[in-house]
A and B are shown apart, each in its own frame.
Chain A
Amino acid sequence: MDRALRRKITNSVFIGLCGGATLVALAFLVMILWTLLSKGVGGIDLKIFTMTQPAPGSPGGLLNGIIGSIMMCGLGMIIAVVLGILAGTWLAEYGGKTTYGQIVRFFNDVLLSAPSILVGLFVYWLMVAHIIGHFSGYAGAVALALLALPIVTRTTEDMLTLQPNTLREAGMALGAGRGFVIRSIIWKAAGAGLFTGGLLGFARISGETAPLLFTSLGNQFVNLNMSKPMGSLPATIFQFALSAYDDWQRLAWVGALLIAVAVLAVNIIGRMIARETHRP
């Protein structure tokens, strides 16, 4: 067998394997989405968005969970993005090479893969048991923030490190201070990347159930006061999916579909905004 033929065969086999693996991964994704759609779409109606969770057998929706999820994810993301971008910026631009910086980075990476139930327990101990004294939406938001924070921090550091040093030097050569260069040039140059970090963080926390179970507890009524226990979609799904009632199980599927659609929508919108603002 001559060399050219051998290379051709090797090439085809390798591409075949890659394609096969991709297909397997995609197949599972499609199956998940298909299950979600087929079981969830049928249950969607106006009641889902206007009524709170029902007793078994009576009509109802997911409004308490939807509002709770939006508020806790929203506050959690605000905390995570503000702290994460500042921490990532410090790691990339100031103290990343110091011993303290390396310790911070190490523990951030540990947090990155920390089991979410552990984070929930910690926040339970910190906020529910000590600071506030009872279950609340704030505790839920803090638990979610702690999960998104390491992702935002890590992505921010990576994206800022990617920016060429000459860009920093050029800013400073014009007489700008270091902090000003970072805020007005480097953050701007890394904008799309920072945005992606936020999206990844949001995707991570939007479906988290474990940390919410013993922080925000759950609430079957609509509650806009974050210092009180709050409902959330994942907690409702958890409760309903395990139940024996058909109508509860249907609602659980709808809730799962809503989370999937929300993550997808936020991703698509985010990418469109990033592309719009970063067109050369």
Chain B
Amino acid sequence: MNDVATPIVSRDPEAPIMVRPNGDLVLEARQLDFFYGKNQSLYGVDLPIERNKITALIGPSGCGKSTLLRTLNKIYDLYPGQNATGRILLDGKDLLTDRASMSRLKERDGDVALEPANLDTSALRARIGMVFQKPTPFPMSIYDNVAFGVRLYFKKSKAEMDQIVERSLRRAALWEEVKDKLNTSGLGLSGGQQQRLCVARGIAVEPEVLLLDEPASALDPVSTAKLEETLMELREDFSIVIVTHNLQQAARISDYTGFMFLGRMIEFRPTAELFERPQSTRTRDYVTGRFG
């Protein structure tokens, strides 16, 4: 590929090849290390997330992409012995050190969120939504599933809540399928519907960032296509980070792609460039299917 100038290739073979987005960054990880007890699983990872874009993380199993995702909303906090060092900036404030920054929930529809004094990390998680690999509907009605997060932080009238539930389900492209059975259990839905219910639940609290950990790996192709379509539309309102094993999926829907290997960010670039003109041999081998 002689048509490409390669100013970003560093002489240090270990240094990541990073093309930083030009736009406004909503979330950014800098020099992030992560430890499961004594085992280090992330090594100085940088990850810039541009607002209203889809950022995909790819790489072979065990490369740390899910760990990176779980670090971004501090879900690892639940497990003793897991620890992160480095910086994670949300709107310029460091989540790992600056506890005060976390409690400020976004204002929405004119009302200010409750600010529970000791729930800093919880409030942070409300600003960064997450959808998991396996659908995780709560054992309650579809309506209550979507309303769950909203009720935690906002006092809403029945009518307002109805609106939020409907809007969230519409944006997750699930409304038409469930509008007549909102009071039935969320567990009765199909796998694909459950996953979109989880998306609706996640976006109902209007997070700034939506993290998705292989959201389509348990879904059939039709449900996957629907979910991808949903994500493309959600990009207008949210910034999305998606971990995927499916390279075509990353290529189809994402604006930026990061390739990770053995706990390191190897290459982070606009998706088209990364897939068409990978700079690192490791990236090239992976996206052309020579390993992984």
Residues on A lying within 8 angstroms of B by beta carbon are 164, 166-178, 180, 184-185, 188-189, 191, 278-280
Collect the chain A residues with CB atoms within 8 Å of residue B134's CB. 164, 166
Count of residues in B whose CB is under 8 Å from the partner chain: 30
CB < 8 Å neighbour of A280 from B122, B123, B138, B187: B187
Cα A189 to Cα B145 with chains together (Å): 13
A173 touches B130 (CB 8 A): yes
Which of A169, A184, A188, A189 is the one whose CB lies under 8 Å from B75? A169
Nearest CB in chain A: distance from B131 CB, A = 8
Residues in chain A near residue B87, CB distance under 8 A: none
- CB-defined contacts of A172 to chain B, threshold 8 Å: 75, 78, 122, 125
Count of A-B contacts judged by CB separation below 8 Å: 74
| Residue of A171, A175, A188, A189 with most partner-chain B CB within 10 A | A175
CB pair A168–B78 under 8 Å, yes or no, is: yes
Task: Please give the residue numbers on chain B whose beta carbons come within 8 Å of chain A beta carbons, in ascending order.
Answer: 73, 75, 78, 119, 122-126, 128-130, 132-134, 136, 138-140, 148-149, 152-153, 185, 187-188, 198, 201-202, 205
Most buried by B among A173, A177, A178: A173
The 3 tightest CB contacts between A and B, nearest first, are: A175-B126, A174-B149, A173-B130
Query: How far apart sit A189 and B134, CA to CA, in the bound complex (Å)?
Result: 16
Assess the A173–B138 pair: CB atoms within 8 A.
no
| Residue of B whose beta carbon sits closest to that of A171 | B138
- Quick one: which of B73, B132, B136, B187 has the most chain A CB within 10 A? B136
> Contacts of B153 on A, CB cut-off 8 Å?
175
For the complex, give the distance between the alpha carbons of A164 and B132 in Å.
12
| Max chain B C-beta neighbours (<10 A), residue from A169, A174, A180, A278 | A174
Contact indicator B78/A173 (Cβ below 8 Å): no
* Contacts A166-B132, A175-B125; A188 near B185 (Cβ below 8 A): no
* B130: A residues at CB distance < 8 A: 169-170, 173
Ordered by A's residue number, 12 sampled pairs between the chains whose C-beta atoms are within 8 Å are A166-B132, A167-B138, A169-B136, A171-B138, A172-B125, A173-B202, A174-B201, A175-B119, A175-B153, A185-B138, A191-B139, A280-B188
Nearest chain B residue, comparing its CB with the CB of A167: B136
Contact B129 A170 (CB under 8 A): no
A119 to chain B, nearest CB (A): 35
The contact of B205 among A167, A175, A180, by CB within 8 Å, is A175
Would A185 and B139 be within 8 Å (CB), given that A164-B134, A174-B202 are in contact? yes
For B128, the chain A residues whose CB sits under 8 A away are 173
A191, B129: Cα distance in complex, Å? 27
Contact of B149 with A175 in the complex, beta carbons under 8 Å: yes
Residues of B within 8 A of A184 (CB): 138, 148
Of B126, B139, B140, B149, most A-chain CB atoms within 10 Å: B139
Tell me, rounded to whole Å, the shortest Cβ–Cβ distance linking A99 to chain B: 14
A224 to B188, CA, bound (A): 47
Bound complex: CA of A28 vs CA of B187, how far in Å?
41
* Cα separation A278 to B132 with both chains bound (whole Å): 23
Q: A173 to B201: give the CA distance in the assembly, Å.
A: 11
How far is B139's CA from A184's CA once the two chains are assembled, in angstroms?
Answer: 9
Q: A168-B78, A174-B201 are in contact. Are A188 and B125 (CB under 8 A)?
A: no
Instruction: Name the contact of A177 in the complex, choosing from B73, B122, B140, B185 (C-beta under 8 A).
Output: B122
Cα–Cα, bound, A188→B119 (Å): 23
Q: Do A169 and B122 touch across chains, with their CB atoms under 8 A apart?
A: no
Q: Given A166-B136, A170-B132, A185-B138, A176 and B185 touching (CB < 8 A)?
A: no
Q: Report the nearest A residue to B184, measured CB to CB.
A: A280
Complex contacts, A174 vs chain B, CB 8 Å? 125-126, 129, 148-149, 152, 201-202, 205
Q: By the criterion CB–CB under 8 Å, are A170 and B187 in contact?
A: no
Q: Shortest distance in angstroms between B204's beta carbon and chain A's nearest beta carbon?
A: 9
Q: How far is the CB of A150 from chain B (nearest CB, A)?
A: 27
| In the complex, residue of chain A having the shortest beta-carbon distance to the beta carbon of B126 | A175
Q: Which residues of B contact A164 (CB under 8 A)?
A: 134, 136
A171 contact set on B, CB distance < 8 A: 138, 148
Q: Which residue of A lies closest to B198 (CB)?
A: A170
A188 neighbours in B (Cβ, 8 Å): 138-140
Instruction: Identify the interface centre among B134, B140, B152: most chain A CB within 10 Å of its CB.
Output: B152
Q: How far is the CB of A175 from chain B (nearest CB, A)?
A: 3
CA distance A172 to B205 in the complex (A): 13
- Cα(A169)–Cα(B201), bound, Å: 14
CA distance A172 to B119 in the complex (A): 11
A176-B188 contact in complex given A164-B136, A169-B132, A170-B198, C-beta closer than 8 Å: no
A278 contacts which chain B residues (CB < 8 A)? 139
For the complex, give the distance between the alpha carbons of A188 and B205 in Å. Answer: 22
Q: Which of A178, A189, A279 contacts B78 (CB 8 A)?
A: A178
Q: Which A residues are in CB contact (< 8 Å) with B75?
A: 169, 172-173
B residues in contact with A191, CB < 8 Å: 139
A191 to B185, CA, bound (A): 14
Q: Which residues in A have their C-beta under 8 angstroms from that of B202?
A: 173-174
